[in-house]
Structure 1
């Protein structure tokens, strides 16, 4: 039977184990350059009885979620978060989706790239400068 770990690398955790088998986040697309910032949680919801009368509507973050929240106290792009955690981008997107669902992060879209003036406008500006 093959070993499931390497003595030098330590135990291997498959990416799908970190996401509960989920491979993508349905509600939003996380651009590689979208900025992620930690947000203070809103007032806690009162607990409601769940199945069998149990009171468990609270979400329990995993250690990876906690690491993301710690990293994103100052804005970081999605790709920077993946790099810092040394996790695949797909896994980080799923984890970010969990945090977004809990309103623990804010996603800021990158500013659109400015439109460059047409070649004709640039030529007219150059001609105007030469005329001075």
Structure 2
């Protein structure tokens, strides 16, 4: 029975496809077939079908070859230079046992010199005291001493105050002008000392 039904149906009726009728096919059979130019599609899948016509693209320009980039040679490791040790490295305020205020008020322009008759051979004197002794063979300002010792100004004041209390250094009056200001030459020395800090 199914075979009888299929025999009465025209070609293509079972698949549901819409093909032109015999009359249309005969009409178009006389015309020359149209040659379709083949163009590249943008990608392998592209848009196809009646709703999305295939997009046509022109040939992409040929790119010039890019020269290879050589990796730079690695820099040699930095050379280790061992400098002569200038003594133990400690935090500055360890030298003053944490004290930040001197026992004696010392202005940055105050001149300090070592005393020749001081008890320099005493075993309790620290290395910093001996450093100040060599720096202050001629009078120096507190700022210059701090710069030469490479310590903050506050640490230098505490050390110098301790030394003055022990009688190791002399604190000189600051030379002043008629107006009561410190002398210009001495202030220039103080400024140079501060710049080296």
Please classify the TM superposition score into its range, dividing by the shorter chain length. 0.5 to 0.7
C-alpha contact 2:112 2:142 (8 A) present in aligned 1: yes
Gaps of 5+ in 2: 1-81, 181-197
Report the structure, 1 or 2, having the larger helix content: 1
Alignment partner, residue 101 of structure 1? 165
Q: How far is the alpha carbon of 1:102 from its aligned partner?
A: 1.1
Gaps of 5+ in 1: 1-7, 45-57, 117-132
**TM-score of the superposition, structure 2-length normalised?**
0.43
Which of 40, 43, 66 is the equivalent residue of 2:116? 40
Q: How far is the alpha carbon of 1:15 from its aligned partner?
A: 1.6
Q: Radius of gyration: which is bigger?
A: 2
Which of 97, 111, 126 is the equivalent residue of 1:20? 97
Q: How far is the alpha carbon of 1:111 from its aligned partner?
A: 1.6
SS of equivalent to 1:111: coil
Relative contact order (alpha carbons < 8 A, sep ≥ 6): 1 or 2 greater?
Answer: 1
**TM-score of the superposition, structure 1-length normalised?**
0.62
Deviation digits for residues 5-64 of structure 1 (CA, Å, limit 9, x no counterpart): xxx9998521221111111112x21111111000023579xxxxxxxxxxxxx6711111
Structure 1 108/86 Cα, relative in aligned 2: closer, same or farther at 3 Å? same
Report the structure, 1 or 2, having the larger strand content: 1
Q: How many residues align?
A: 95
Alignment partner, residue 91 of structure 1? 155
Structure 1 43/78 Cα, relative in aligned 2: closer, same or farther at 3 Å? closer
Alignment partner, residue 29 of structure 1? 105
